[in-house]
Amino acid sequence: MNSKISQYLTKHQPSTPCLIVDLDIVDHNYQQLSQTLPFADIYYAIKANPALPILKRLVAMNAFFDAASWEEVQLCLDAGAPPSHISFGNTVKKVSAIQAASQANVEMYVFDSIEEMQKIAKHAPGAKVYCRLTVDNLGADWPLSGKFGTTTEHAIELLLEAQKSGLNPYGVSFHVGSQQTDPKAYSLAIEKAALVFRALAEQNIHLQMINLGGGFPIHYREDIPKLNEFETEIQKSLHHHFNNNFPRIILEPGRAIVGNAGVISTEVILSSKRGKENGPRWVYLDIGRFGGLAETEGEAIRYQITTEYDGSDTDPVILAGPSCDGVDVLYQKSNYQLPLQLSAGDRVALLSTGAYVSTYCSTSFNGFPPLEEHYI
C-alpha cells in the first residue's frame, strides 16, 4: 500500500468495508501506458471503475473512453469527454441505447453479428463500425471467449454487409481476456486482424483501425511480464503484418489504469478454527463475493492481503465473506496464509482492488449496504 492511502486510512479511519483510490496512480498509469505504447490511442474501459473523479482525471489527459452501455456514455459526457472520444464497445446494445448514443454524436460502435450491425445501420446511420473477432483467451485469468466475437471469415462478410448498409467499415477488435499474462496472445490476434484487413482490401474496402482490447495484467500475488514485453510483441507483430504502414491502434485498458490505484480496507468479523484444530483457520471479512469481490469467483483473481502483523508467524487460512451464502467464500484453494495474531476487529487491506470491484457490489445482499468509495 502506498503512503498516501495508508496515511488516509490512519487519519480518517473510514468505516469498513471501503475502497480508497489514489487518483495520482491513475494519472501515472495512463501516462506510462501512453509513453510505452505511443502508437496507440488509449480508450479507458469505463466498466473497470466509472467513478467521476477517475473519468475527470482521464478527460484532463485527453483520454478516449470505451463504454459498455448508454449509461456509461453519459458518464463520460458528464465528465467532459467529447463524443468523438467515446467508443460504444458492447457487441450487445439496446436499440434505445444506440439511438441515444447516435443523438449524442458518438461515432464508433462494435458488433459481431448481422442482427447487431443492422440495428446500428438503422439507428446510427453512417457510423464507424468495427467487428469483434474471437481469439484465444489462453493465458488470461478472467477469460472472455464464447460470448463475444466471430470468425475471420464471418467478420469479412459482416464488414462487407456493413458497407452495403451505409455504415463505415472502420476496423476490427478482439479481446485476449482480462489479466492476460502472455504477450504472444496479442500477436496471434493481430495476425487474425491482418487477415481480415487483406481480404477486405482485395474487395476495395480499406479498414483503418485495430482495437487490441484490454487485458494487460497487473501485479496481484504473482509476477507478471513487464509492459514493454507486451509493447515489443505488439510492435513486432504490427511491423510483420503492416510494415511501417500501421493502422490506427486502439487499446482498451481498465484494470491496467485503475487496478493498482485502489485498496480495500476490510474488518475481520471472525477468525476461528471452528473445532478442527488441524484444519485451516477460517477468516471471515466484512466484504465478500457479493460486496464487490466478484472476480474471486473460481479464485480467478487472487488479491494480495496485508495486515498490521505482517512478518509474524502465519498459518493457512480459508477466506470468506460476511453473508449467509455458502458460495460467498473468497479463497479456499489458493494457499493463503495470515498472521496467527489476526482476530475479530482487526483491519486487513486488499491491494490492487481499484478495478472491477465497486460496481460489482450488490445493492443490499443480506442487508449489507454498497461499498463506500473514497477518491483521494
- 3-class secondary structure, 160: helix
Q: Tell me if residue 361 is catalytic.
A: no
Is residue 59 classed exposed, middle or buried when 0-12, 13-18 and 19+ CB atoms within 10 A define those classes?
middle
> Length of the chain, please?
376
Cell of 217: 495484467
CA distance 321 to 269: 9
- Identity of the residue, 38 or 326, whose beta carbon is nearer to a second copy in the bound complex: 326
Q: What are phi and psi of 204, to 5 degrees?
A: 65, 25
Among 18, 76, 131, 324, the active-site one is 324
Q: Rounded to whole angstroms, how far apart are CA atoms 284 and 268?
A: 6
Judged by beta carbon, residue 72 or residue 231, the one nearer a second copy is: 72
Locate 46 and state its grid cell.
Answer: 469505463
Q: Is 238 or 318 the residue whose CB approaches a second copy more closely?
A: 318
Q: How far is CA 278 from CA 71, 144, 185, 230, 324, in A?
A: 51, 39, 43, 44, 25
Conformation bin of residue 366: beta by default, left when phi > 0, alpha when psi is -120 to 50: left
> What is the SS3 assignment for 245?
coil
- Cβ proximity to a second copy: between 113 and 304 the closer is 113
Query: Please, which residue, 182 or 328, has the CB nearer to a second copy?
Result: 328
Q: How far is the CB of 286 from a second copy (least distance, A)?
A: 7
Residue 159's contacts (CB-CB under 8 Å, 6 or more residues apart) are 129, 131, 169, 172, 196, 200, 205, 207
Could you tell me the smallest distance in angstroms from the CB atom of residue 35 to a second copy? 27
**Residues with catalytic function:** 324
